[in-house]
């Protein structure tokens, strides 16, 4: 009859007003001794309130740097955001001062990192770390803060939070730590959560649990999510729309179901083709020939052209603009139901 949550009346449950996140032509370059690495080179997308956008692509395609750029956490001085706009509601995050950014991080946008083993500070107990955000953004102290931490731990389903709050990270399992990281990220009720491969280092059962937890939390607290992953299985489970990245650019963007049924860009098509089908027995899995290009000096045209089976002359000369290809799958409904691909195959002259 008495539940554990009944005694903690808390007035801080209001999420920050849901805002649309719009990234326009974002460019983040790294200046190294060997030259300039255009890690992110003209990425644009929008994230509607409550939506989950998947960001897929191989290692080094710029997924993580895109995420770090949104929070303005690109490792300086090597990395610099060269251009573009990141609108959250009607604020351009790239125009904010450092101090204003500190108020935005956590409160409006926050992040879950890949490895829960290193995401937590080893010298503080869970309570101190989970409470940090609520302390900055809600001005909570003492008992109020303690109760808030308990509430957050219950959100992420930590058993016996009264006891666990006093534990140190090394006393917890990987899955539990990643839930703690989730609690930290959500502690100030942000409207956008960036999840950078949050399940990569968890085993499969824990992965499934964690994804379910994220979905449930999203339902309850109505944040939108950018979900970075290599795993198409996860994409299918959690994402409303997917953006496929290659060499620092988004090459295709479509509602999830649409992408799986009718991938347009040759790279996306090759990726989907290389997924093994459990019903057919094969000796060799399908792969994409060649190597991802070196980002140090990209060819003038489409970076995928050298590996592309459908490359044309123009592909090696000029980078294709983004073409609207139209929705093929009638069952696919994303908030803005559009399917785009950056490929000359869909240029007007080729239609």
Partner 1 sequence: MRTLADTGTTTRLVRARQVGGLWRLFRKAPLIPAVILLAVVISAVFARFLAPEAPTFGNLSDAFIPPAWVEGGSSAHLLGTDSLGRDVYSRIVYGARVSLIVSIFAIFIAGSIGTVMGLASGYFGGRVDGVIMRLVDIALALPTILMALVLVAVLQPGVATVIIVIGCLNWANYARQIRGEVLSVKERDFVILARSIGSSPARIMSRHILPNVFNTIIVLATLQVGSVILLEATLSFLGLGVPPPEPSWGQMVAEGRGFIVVAWWMALFPGVAIMLTVLSMNLMGDWLRDLLDPRLRQI
Q: Which residues bind partner 1 (CB under 8 A)?
A: 1-4, 71, 73, 75, 77, 99, 102-107, 110-111, 113-115, 118-124, 129, 132-133, 136-137, 160, 162-163, 166, 168, 170-171, 181, 184-185, 187-188
Indicate the residue among 34 and 98 with the shorter CB distance to partner 1: 98
Tell which residue, 225, 139, 241, has the closest CA to residue 185.
Answer: 225
Provide CB contacts within 8 A for 323, sequence distance 6+: 340, 341, 342, 343, 346, 347
- Chain centroid to Cα 317, Å, comes to 32
Strand locations in 48-112, DSSP E?
Answer: 52-56, 79-88, 91-92, 109-112
**What is the closest distance, in whole angstroms, from the C-beta atom of residue 78 to partner 1 in the complex?**
10
Whether residue 53 is preceded by a cis peptide bond, meaning omega within 30 degrees of 0, is: no
Indicate the residue among 118 and 212 with the shorter CB distance to partner 1: 118
Q: What are 321's two structure tokens?
A: 């603009």
Whether the CB-CB separation of 46 and 334 falls below 8 Å is answered with no
Tell which residue, 99, 53, 98, has the closest CA to residue 242.
Answer: 53
Whether the CB-CB separation of 148 and 140 falls below 8 Å is answered with yes
Partners of residue 90 on adjacent β-strands: none
Whether the CB-CB separation of 110 and 190 falls below 8 Å is answered with yes
3-state secondary structure of 307: helix
**What is the closest distance, in whole angstroms, from the C-beta atom of residue 58 to partner 1 in the complex?**
22
Indicate the residue among 164 and 339 with the shorter CB distance to partner 1: 164
Indicate the residue among 224 and 262 with the shorter CB distance to partner 1: 224
Indicate the residue among 133 and 248 with the shorter CB distance to partner 1: 133
**What is the closest distance, in whole angstroms, from the C-beta atom of residue 130 to partner 1 in the complex?**
10
Helices (H) and strands (E) in the chain, counts: 10, 12
Chain position carrying tokens 């970075």? 228
Indicate the residue among 87 and 168 with the shorter CB distance to partner 1: 168
**What is the closest distance, in whole angstroms, from the C-beta atom of residue 194 to partner 1 in the complex?**
8
**What is the closest distance, in whole angstroms, from the C-beta atom of residue 93 to partner 1 in the complex?**
13
Q: What are 23's two structure tokens?
A: 């990234």
**What is the closest distance, in whole angstroms, from the C-beta atom of residue 245 to partner 1 in the complex?**
21
**What is the closest distance, in whole angstroms, from the C-beta atom of residue 329 to partner 1 in the complex?**
36
Chain position carrying tokens 């080179």? 41
Q: Whole-angstrom Cα distance, residue 104 to residue 125?
A: 25
Indicate the residue among 70 and 332 with the shorter CB distance to partner 1: 70
Indicate the residue among 129 and 256 with the shorter CB distance to partner 1: 129
Q: CA 223, 229, 235 angle in degrees (round to 5)?
A: 70
**What is the closest distance, in whole angstroms, from the C-beta atom of residue 336 to partner 1 in the complex?**
27
């Amino acid at each position: 009859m008495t539940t554990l949550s009944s005694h903690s009346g808390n007035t801080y449950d209001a999420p920050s007003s849901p805002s649309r996140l719009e990234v326009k032509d974002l460019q983040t370059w790294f200046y190294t001794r060997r030259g300039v690495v255009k890690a992110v080179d003209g990425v644009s997308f929008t994230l509607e309130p409550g939506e989950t956008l998947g960001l897929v692509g191989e290692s080094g395609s710029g997924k993580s740097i895109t995420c770090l750029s949104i929070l303005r956490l690109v490792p300086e001085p090597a990395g610099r955001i060269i251009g573009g706009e990141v609108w959250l509601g009607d604020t351009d995050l790239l125009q904010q001062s450092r101090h204003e950014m500190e108020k935005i991080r956590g409160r409006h946008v926050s992040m879950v990192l890949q490895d829960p083993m290193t995401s937590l500070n080893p010298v503080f107990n869970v309570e101190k770390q989970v409470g940090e955000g609520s302390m900055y953004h809600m001005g909570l102290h003492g008992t109020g803060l303690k109760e808030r931490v308990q509430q957050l731990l219950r959100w992420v389903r930590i058993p016996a939070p009264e006891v666990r709050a006093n534990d140190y990270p090394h006393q917890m399992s990987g899955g539990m730590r990643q839930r703690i990281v989730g609690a930290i990220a959500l502690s100030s009720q942000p409207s956008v959560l960036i999840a950078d491969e949050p399940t990569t280092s968890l085993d499969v059962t824990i992965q499934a649990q964690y994804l379910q937890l994220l979905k449930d939390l999203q339902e309850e607290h109505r944040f939108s999510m950018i979900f970075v992953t290599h795993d198409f299985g996860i994409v299918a489970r959690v994402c409303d729309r997917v953006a496929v990245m290659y060499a620092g650019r988004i090459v295709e963007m479509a509602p999830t179901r649409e992408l799986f049924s009718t991938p347009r860009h040759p790279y996306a098509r090759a990726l989907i083709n290389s997924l093994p089908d459990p019903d057919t027995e094969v000796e060799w899995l399908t792969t994409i020939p060649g190597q991802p290009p070196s980002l140090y000096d990209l060819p003038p045209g489409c970076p995928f052209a050298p590996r592309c089976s459908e490359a044309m002359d123009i592909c090696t000369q000029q980078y294709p603009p983004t073409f609207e290809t139209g929705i093929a799958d009638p069952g696919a409904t994303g908030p803005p139901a559009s399917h785009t691909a950056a490929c000359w195959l869909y240029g007007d002259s080729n239609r």
